[in-house]
Amino acid sequence: MIKSIKTWILVGFASLLLVACGQGGGGAGSKKSKTLDNTKKAGFVKCGVSQGLPGFSNADASGNWSGIDVDVCRAVAAAVLGDADKVKYTPLSAKERFTALTSGEIDVLARNTTWTLSRDADIGLTFVGVNFYDGQGFMVRKNSGINSVNDFKNGISACTNTGTTTELNMRDFFNSKNISYEPIAFEKADEVVQAYDAGRCDTYTTDKSGLAAQRTKMSNPDEHKVLPETISKEPLGPVVRQGDAVWEDIVRWSLNTMIEAEEYGVNSSNASSLKDSENPAIKRLVGSEGELGAAFGLDNDWSLRIIEQVGNYGESYKKHIADTGILPNRGPNQLWTKGGILYVPPAR
């Protein structure tokens, strides 16, 4: 008798709990930016990065993240919260990244992610721009005698990361050349490097910037070289969830501000002194003219803070990619005024 009453009470309690939960549910979007409100409430930007790719997003020994992808998150934090350091980084594998974003675990994905039609349209994501123009290449051992992709023969084994566009490009490439190959796809970049380094595969293929960065992790970097050919377009850029237009705009224009600042010669050291510049474009950038921030619900110094705390795109590139020896040449990632393809819509 006593036991049975206990059961009843337990069951009743459980049902009550359920009803309470049911009323708290939902998660519907609104016209205002829920992500912006949540970020302000939390006091930090939730940013998804790689598990360690030098130059893009890499943690040092004391756990400080740096890289040009990290700088996008820092720029958003500077614009929204006023402090570029208020970012919470979540390292993600290629496989986890989109789920982490769509499920709300992170709010910005800055993880050397290629912008493609299917990703943009299909899986609830929105790409906001390009912060690095890359292309897929191949790495081989210097002594292999392979000097170009035309030297690949039937039976070659190629290592790469699973869940990436590289896996698909690789197939397109070898099929178009009519070469049969052995694809070996690992989940983590570190394991790809280890397997290639051990001799499990003859070539390692991924984005060229990635190859240059991973080469530094090999047991003997000088034994390896990157082949000259580029087999695909890989525009890498930050991604946000679909359905929050304001947040999307904030991230897009945080990146654009960095590129625009370089174009107008505004950098972290001279930004505040340019408040009285003759050029209205510069004045808009440093917040002394117009009311641009109001469009996103931000104050007028949002772009000045980005430039002061994070720097312009050129500074970021120099610090993380060029000076670290990964890719000294800016190649396509140069401003359109200097022969590259970096071109952003005007901030006005």
Residue 95 interacting with another protein (CB under 8 A): yes
Q: Contact region for another protein (CB under 8 A) — 152-160, 224-232, 245-253, 255-263?
A: 152-160
Among 123, 294, 295, 341, binds another protein (CB under 8 A): 123
Residue 217 interacting with another protein (CB under 8 A): no
Buried b (16+ CB within 10 A) or exposed e, 93-110: bbebbbebbbeeebbbbb
For 150-189, the DSSP string reads GG--TTEEEEEETTSHHHHHHHHHHHHTT--EEEEEESSH
Pattern 178-197, another protein, x by CB under 8 A: ---xxxxxxxx--x--xx--
Structure tokens at 106: 């992170």
Least Å from the CB of residue 236 to another protein:
16
- How big is the site for another protein, counted in residues (CB under 8 A)? 66
Residue 168 interacting with another protein (CB under 8 A): yes
Of 223 and 249, which has the nearer Cβ to another protein?
A: 223
Least Å from the CB of residue 310 to another protein:
29
Rg (CA), the chain: 24
Rounded CA-CA distance 290/128 in Å is: 23
Residue 243 interacting with another protein (CB under 8 A): yes
In the DSSP assignment, the letter for residue 139 is E
Pattern 21-40, another protein, x by CB under 8 A: xx--xxxxx-----------
Residue 15 interacting with another protein (CB under 8 A): yes
Residue 241 interacting with another protein (CB under 8 A): yes
Cβ burial, residue 254 (10 Å; 0-12/13-18/19+): buried
Contact 160, 206 (CB under 8 A): yes
Rounded CA-CA distance 172/76 in Å is: 36
Contact 65, 304 (CB under 8 A): no
**Contact set with another protein (CB under 8 A):** 1, 4-5, 7-8, 11, 14-15, 18, 21-22, 25-29, 94-95, 98-99, 102, 118-119, 122-124, 141, 143-146, 151-157, 162-164, 167-168, 170-172, 175, 181-188, 191, 194-195, 198-202, 241-243
